[in-house]
Structure 1
Amino acid sequence: MTIGEVREILNARLHTPGADLNAQVHTACGSDMMSDVLAYVKDQAVLLTGLNNPQVVRTAEMMDMVCIVFVRGKQPQEQIVEMAAQRGMAVLSTDLPMFAACGRLYEKGLRGGEMP
């Protein structure tokens, strides 16, 4: 699946116009707790979250993620968009709740990674 397909499936708004929408993503995770992402996530490409602060970008960068999706209608702050763009990450936002967004992506074939 590509980032562009994630955008379409979630009817999401793109906040980083320079992002590579053709980048392939094979796994995703959904969490509002960045400590859980750091502790348990491995080899995920897409992070779905409702947490709207710069720590999300820092966490995604540490985990080599290429796309952040803000759920529940959250709109990322400009600082978040700038940080992500500098790191080559796509930033999307959707009005869907996290459960529905994760479910739609799962239904279309995007999976989570292995838990330790």
Structure 2
Amino acid sequence: MKAREILEILNAELLTGEENLDMEFNAACGSDLMSDVMAYVKENVVLLTGLVNPQVIRTAEMMDIKLVVFIRGKRPEEKIIQMAKEKGIAIMTTNDPMFIACGKLYSAGITERGVWD
């Protein structure tokens, strides 16, 4: 699924990363624990999180995650948006809670788990 489809499905707002809208994602990971993301995440994954701090972008960079969706209407500070822009990471925000956002993506076809079994 392309990032632009995720944007539409989650009725999200794109904060940065227009260049990533045509990237394909086949798995999703919903987590607020960046240590779990680092331990278990697979390739081509979209990260959904309620954690809004620079560690999210650092983790995304380390794990080669190109799309982060902040849930529950959370908006990162401008310095976090700028950091993501510099790293080539797209950021979206949705008003949906984690459960609903993950459910919408699953129903739309992202059925691979974003973590190793």
TM over 0.5: yes
Quickly say closer, same or farther: Cα 1:71–1:114, change in 2 above 3 A.
closer
TM-score, normalised by the number of residues in structure 1? 0.93
How does 1:46-65 map onto structure 2 within 5 Å?
46-65=46-65
Cα 1:114–1:72 change in 2 (3 A) is closer
Using the TM superposition, give the Cα deviation of residue 20 of structure 1 relative to its aligned residue in structure 2, in angstroms: 2.3
Shift of 1:114: 4.8
Residue 17 (structure 1) shift: 5.4
Q: Which runs of 5+ in 2 are unaligned?
A: none
Which residue does 1:73 correspond to in 2?
Answer: 73
CA contact (8 A) 2:17 2:88 kept: no
Task: Using the aligned pairs only, state the percent identity.
Answer: 54
Check the 8 A contact 1:29/1:44 in 2, yes or no: no
Question: Which residue matches 1:115?
Answer: 116
| Matched pairs, number | 116
Is there any run of 5+ residues in structure 1 with no aligned partner, and where? none
User: Which one-letter code corresponds to 1:88 in the other structure?
Assistant: G
- In the alignment, the residues of structure 2 paired with residue 53 and residue 17 of structure 1 have an alpha-carbon distance, to the nearest angstrom, of 18
* Secondary structure of residue in 2 paired with 1:101: helix
1:5 aligned to 2:5?
A: yes
The whole-number CA distance in structure 2 between the counterparts of 1:80 and 1:12 is 18
